Amino acid sequence: MLKKFFSLAIICAAILFANNAAQAEEVNWFWLDSNEKYSKYFNPDSVEVTKKVVTKDGREIAIEIEAWTKTTYSYEGAADTIKTYELTKILPDPRSLSYSLALLRINPQNRMLQYIREDFYDANGQVVYSRGEDSRVKEINSQSFDEEFYCAVVDEVFQLGERDKKRAPTAERWIELWTYTDENGDTKNLTADTTTMRLKGSNLVLWEWEVTKNPAGQTTEIRFMKKAVNLTQGTETIKDGKVWTPTSSWKKLEDEFDGAYRMIKSDSPDYKGLVRLRAYVKKNANWVTRYSLD
């Protein structure tokens, strides 16, 4: 009798293992984007709200979302990934890296993304390298490798058009705040990324792109900046950023005000930008307050 019981238990375990394996193979990966190096997918069925809060007016808002994503690699993409993760000793041949699966954790209120688990596979589906929770939490912007993942996962929960806004024509996604030519003939142009805009109280948090060109039309500087603009007080501060020049390439942008808010003068180009941002927020209030807990 005992022998039959153990035999039945083994058979049941085998069936359960087979079912789990079949389910793993039957994952429906939704294609997001491809280029010459990478193809990106996510699994809509894996999206799970792991934390939410109830606002003062009784709304339940997700503040933490997890989901599985997949990235496949060309030879060049695999080579770049191996270099980035410093895996040359483990994976000396880029052809041995086929794809990776990653569990992501997302906070939509602050556009933050964290890798909880990442597994790298060869062409035979065998794991060649794994890494656990990454302590780094990154903010998603137009320069982020993970932007497609972020937009797809957040849209799966809120359905407010993150992917549509990201994929919109440049003139729709980026709004021009001002263009100014100084006495030397250098022209500066500042645009704002509407996908990154979120209103917190009177502060509009966003990423901006500033390009400077000399009289010959050559680009002499690019600034990519995260700002907080107080629309009521008419002040702003630089929270983060980087700057590019032809001689030094990209480096961290140092804020001369050391993070302090500065007054936007009424006769400066930035004041035109302030007026433009106020108008955008008034016209697109639902967008800039999406996922808000206020």
What CATH number is associated with residue 270?
Answer: 2.40.128
Of 163, 191, 211, which closes a domain?
A: 163
CB under 8 Å to 249, separation ≥6 — which residues? none
For residues 97 and 132, membership in a common domain is answered with yes
For residues 61 and 179, membership in a common domain is answered with no
**pTM (two decimals):** 0.88
- Which residues constitute the domain of residue 222? 171-288
Distance CA 21, CA 257 (A): 57
Work out the pLDDT band at 185, boundaries 50, 70, 90. very high
Of 141, 163, 185, which closes a domain?
A: 163
For residues 156 and 179, membership in a common domain is answered with no
101 within domain boundaries:
yes
What backbone phi and psi angles, to 5 degrees, belong to 219?
-75, 125
Residue range 43-93, pLDDT digits in tens = 999 999 999 999 999 999 999 999 999 999 999 999 999 999 999 998 999
CATH code of 141's domain: 2.40.128.710
For residues 150 and 254, membership in a common domain is answered with no
Of 163, 197, 226, which closes a domain?
A: 163
Tokens 């039957």 label which residue?
Answer: 26
pLDDT for the residue numbered 25: 54
Rounded average pLDDT over 149-173: 96
- How many domains does the structure of the chain reveal? 2
Three-state DSSP class for residue 288: helix
Residue range 167-179, pLDDT digits in tens = 999 999 999 999 9
Retrieve residue 180's tokens: 């100014």
3 within domain boundaries:
no
Length of the chain: 294
For residues 149 and 207, membership in a common domain is answered with no
Q: What percent of the chain has pLDDT over 70?
A: 91
